[in-house]
């Protein structure tokens, strides 16, 4: 292809190189010039024009693009008709894009006139999705260049193909510990079903088992017996090492551990293994989230029947920093510092309390004091400031119960949407200088200031942590103190769902504060629970008030 500025009388049949816009004439780049166009240009006083003229052996851009695309595609990859020197390649069916990286590099190195761009290797795609594009840079390709390109392609396997998804029967096993809410498991299953559906797979077996070696072992055995082609184990706690519950359960079932951990974040705590012919995945906490993470990379390959070796996993580090996560915030230009103020406290007091129809739960009396007032007084006795109370249902009663207390009341008009809406409203009232927020539930009257302060201090002592939660025998309770970097994730919650799954997704960045009493685990939902708590409180008060006399009496009786 020869480029030159020529007089108009020599330009007919050549290709226009630069777009021209004149009154009544819009001449685009790449247009083949005819007599009418040249006459119109002359009418505007144009004497010459920059054109591209084909050499004898030149191949037009569309023909070249079509030939290159046809020569490089493999199974499941379909080229579109070429236009303006471009041939897009699409997936003929759902599956994974498989590319020959070395071959693509070699093709792109032949000549600057011919280029190929693709999606990343092993990207999951649906039928019709564009997976690659061939673009011819000039308006034509010299015949020698085209010959060199086609020779290079003949010598190699297909550069781009789509491997179809093959596995359709998947088992999900969830291990259970006290404190793991049913809502977390339900959400995990919904997210997993959606992930699988994109690959044409579905659950054939779903089971909840104790978080023990035996529980995992028997669950995997039952999954295999149910005909599962792949098993996923969601642990109630993160996998710490090869001796932990999930890997131990896999080995007890006769399986093998292939690899633990991966250089992809989120997704570090992934386990891969095999039980007979059935691949087994120990899911990291982030797999409970619908956002892309390292779990997806491995899951999709397995669903396509593509083996995932240790070498495959350890090679995922480049490009494995997938997105910002709360435990690894990205710097933001102009971001305000948050270290200057105290941790805030948010008391959620907007719920309807439907399980206590006899009276409004939050203002029901315990030892002569409304439940919500007891919680707020504990917050006020702690170091947390300000204390923000989110009201909703029967807001007037809550305000009356808190009369005279130095709190910031904020109303949630959308309280019927569920707990998440109140969390969002409360976070919006946290001062910008607060580094964190303690989220308290208005129906937990045994929570005390000492617990709140311990949690605040524990989070402050771990700069990389995202939250601090009370823990007892592996069970997490409330309140939870959340670092500011978690606020966006908390604000994104929807429905009547708390933030428990966020703790699981960021398990390695959560500080567990061991507690010796039950204050973090006692809430009041029913009148019977309130009455039992009242009786217990009376007994405790009596024991404290008359402790020495009672102790002596018991000893004498013995």
Give one DSSP letter per residue of 181-202, joined into a string: -HHHHHHHHHHHHHHHHTTT-E
Domain 59-164: CATH superfamily, name plus number: Pyrimidine nucleoside phosphorylase-like, C-terminal domain (3.90.1170.30)
The CA distance from 446 to 367, in Å, is 12
What is the pTM for the complete model shown?
A: 0.64
Which residues are CB-contacts of 515 (< 8 A; sequence separation ≥ 6)? 451, 470, 471, 472, 477
Which residues are CB-contacts of 463 (< 8 A; sequence separation ≥ 6)? none
The CA distance from 391 to 407, in Å, is 12
Which CATH topology does 169-314 take?
Molybdenum Cofactor Biosythetic Enzyme; Chain A (3.40.980)
Reading the chain (558 residues) residue by residue, the pLDDT tens digits are 676 788 888 888 888 878 888 887 888 877 788 888 888 888 888 888 887 766 778 898 899 999 999 999 999 999 999 988 999 999 999 999 999 999 999 999 999 999 999 999 999 999 999 999 999 988 888 899 999 999 889 878 999 999 999 999 999 999 999 878 888 899 999 999 999 999 999 999 999 999 999 999 999 999 999 999 999 999 998 898 999 999 999 999 999 999 999 999 889 999 999 999 999 999 998 899 888 899 999 999 999 999 999 999 999 999 998 865 555 554 433 334 445 689 999 999 999 888 888 888 999 988 889 999 999 999 999 999 999 999 999 999 999 999 999 999 999 999 998 899 999 999 999 999 999 999 999 999 999 999 999 999 999 998 888 999 999 887 899 999 999 989 988 998 887 777 888 888 787 789 999 999 999 999 998 888 888 888 776 666 555 454 443 333 232 222
Cα 176–chain centre separation: 22
Most distant CA pair in the chain, distance: 125
Residues in the chain: 558
Q: What would the 3-class secondary structure string for 474-525 be?
A: CEECCCEEEEHHHHHHHHCCCCCCCCHHHHHHCHHHEEEEECCCCCCCCCCC
Instruction: Determine how many CB atoms are found less than 10 A away from the CB of residue 311.
Output: 8
Closest Cα to residue 139, out of 61, 64, 27? Answer: 61
The CA distance from 486 to 479, in Å, is 15
Residue 234 Cα distances to 20, 186, 289, angstroms = 62, 12, 12
The CA distance from 22 to 283, in Å, is 62
The CA distance from 76 to 166, in Å, is 14
At residue 251, φ and ψ (nearest 5 deg) are: -65, -35
> Which tokens belong to 22?
């004149």
CATH class in words for 2-53: alpha beta
Closest Cα to residue 265, out of 247, 286, 283? Answer: 286
| CATH code 3.90.550.10 for 344-514 | yes
């Amino acid at each position: 292809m020869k480029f030159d500025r020529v007089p108009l009388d020599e330009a007919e049949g050549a290709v226009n190189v630069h777009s021209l816009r004149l009154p009544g004439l819009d001449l685009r780049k790449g247009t083949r010039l005819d007599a009418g166009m040249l006459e119109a240009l002359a009418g505007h006083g144009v004497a010459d024009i920059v054109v591209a003229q084909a050499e004898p052996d030149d191949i037009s851009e569309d023909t070249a693009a079509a030939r290159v695309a046809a020569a490089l595609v493999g199974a499941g990859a379909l080229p579109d008709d070429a236009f303006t020197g471009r041939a897009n390649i699409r997936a003929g069916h759902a599956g994974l894009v498989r590319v020959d990286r070395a071959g693509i590099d070699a093709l792109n190195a032949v000549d600057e006139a011919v280029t190929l761009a693709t999606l990343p290797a092993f990207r999951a795609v649906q039928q019709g999705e564009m997976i690659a594009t061939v673009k011819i840079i000039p308006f034509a390709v010299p015949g020698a260049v085209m010959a060199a390109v086609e020779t290079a392609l003949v010598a190699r396997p297909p550069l781009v193909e789509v491997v179809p998804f093959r596995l359709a029967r998947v088992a999900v096993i969830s291990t259970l510990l006290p404190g793991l809410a049913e809502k977390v498991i339900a959400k995990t299953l919904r997210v997993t079903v959606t992930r699988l559906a994109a690959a044409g797979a579905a659950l054939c077996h779903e089971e909840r088992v104790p978080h023990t070696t035996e529980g995992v072992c028997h669950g995997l055995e039952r999954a295999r017996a149910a005909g599962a082609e792949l098993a996923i184990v969601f642990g109630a706690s993160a996998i710490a090492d090869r001796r932990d519950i999930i890997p131990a359960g896999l080995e007890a079932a006769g399986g093998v551990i292939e690899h633990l951990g991966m250089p992809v974040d989120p997704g570090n705590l992934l386990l891969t293994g095999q039980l007979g012919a059935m691949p087994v995945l120990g899911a990291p906490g982030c797999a409970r989230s619908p956002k892309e993470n390292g779990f997806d990379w491995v899951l999709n390959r397995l669903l396509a029947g593509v083996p995932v070796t240790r070498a495959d996993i350890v090679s995922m580090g480049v490009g494995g920093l997938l997105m910002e996560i709360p435990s690894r915030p990205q710097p933001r230009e102009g971001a305000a510092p948050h270290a200057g103020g105290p941790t805030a406290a948010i008391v959620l007091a907007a719920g309807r309390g439907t399980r206590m129809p006899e009276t409004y739960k939050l203002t029901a009396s315990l030892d002569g004091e409304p439940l919500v007032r007891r919680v707020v007084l504990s917050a006020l006795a702690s170091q947390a400031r300000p204390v923000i109370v989110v009201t909703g249902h029967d807001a007037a009663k809550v305000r009356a119960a808190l009369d005279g207390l130095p709190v910031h009341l904020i109303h949630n008009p959308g309280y019927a949407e569920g707990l998440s809406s109140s969390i969002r409203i409360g976070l919006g009232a946290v001062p910008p200088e607060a580094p964190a927020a303690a989220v308290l539930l208005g129906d937990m009257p045994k929570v005390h200031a000492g617990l709140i302060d311990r949690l605040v201090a524990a989070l402050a002592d771990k700069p990389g942590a995202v939250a601090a939660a009370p823990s007892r025998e592996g069970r997490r309770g409330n309140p939870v103190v959340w670092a500011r970097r978690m606020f966006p994730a908390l604000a994104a919650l929807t429905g009547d769902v708390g933030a428990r799954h966020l703790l699981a997704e960021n398990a390695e960045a959560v500080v567990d504060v061991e507690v010796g009493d039950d204050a973090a685990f006692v809430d009041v939902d029913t009148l019977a629970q309130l009455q039992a708590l009242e009786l217990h409180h009376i007994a405790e008060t009596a024991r404290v008030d008359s402790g020495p006399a009672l102790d002596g009496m018991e000893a004498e009786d013995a």
